[in-house]
Amino acid sequence: MPDGLPAPLELQIPTDLVFVRPVRKMLEGLLYAQGWTEDDVDDASLVITEIVQNAVEHGSRADGKEAVRIVIHTQPDAVQLEVEDPGTGRDPQRALDRDIEAPVPMEETRGRGLFLINRLAQHFERSIGTSGGLHLTVRKEVQP
């Protein structure tokens, strides 16, 4: 493991799903460089994929003309992710009102993202961001 930790990585990506994979790959690289196990990296990867994909699909017009703001704070045993969408998609209050403790019925084809994020993260906070969109803060810790 290298000495010291990188400064928080701040990104603004266009609201296009093509940018989800590169963000995930950046996070994976940061965590592998810190000595995280493959299982822990996979879990963190799934979390950031769900968050960024939801921000693009539900929090914007998904036309590539807006931006999703992402901040990645790495620590030796945890990563904190902050993601804020532009707020031009669905009403962010819907995401705040959703019960993230209740699993989505199996017959539903969508809607598992927030439940999944909540199950994998040690801390999950939702609020309305400065842009009027949804702001998520998630802390994912390595498993002992």
How much of the chain is helix, strand and coil, in % rounded to 5? 35, 25, 40
Identify which of 16, 34, 64, 43 has the alpha carbon closest to the alpha carbon of residue 139.
43
At 111 the pLDDT is 73
At 135 the pLDDT is 98
Compute, in degrees rounded to 10, the torsion defined by CA atoms 128, 5, 7, 127: 0
- The mean pLDDT value for 34-41 works out to 95
At 3 the pLDDT is 64
* Residue whose structure tokens are 């993230």: 100
Q: Which CATH class is domain 9-141?
A: alpha beta
* Residue whose structure tokens are 């045993």: 77
At 76 the pLDDT is 87
Asked if residues 70 and 115 have their Cβ atoms less than 8 Å apart, the reply is: no
Q: Which residue has the higher pLDDT, 32 or 106?
A: 32
> CA dist 128 to 18, 36, 59, 67, 134, Å?
25, 31, 11, 16, 5
Identify which of 59, 47, 46, 80 has the alpha carbon closest to the alpha carbon of residue 13.
59
Per-residue pLDDT of 49-87, as tens digits, reads 999 999 999 999 999 999 999 999 998 899 999 999 999
Per-residue pLDDT of 89-131, as tens digits, reads 999 999 999 988 887 777 776 778 899 999 999 999 999 999 8
- The mean pLDDT value for 18-26 works out to 98
Identify which of 96, 107, 100, 98 has the alpha carbon closest to the alpha carbon of residue 133.
96
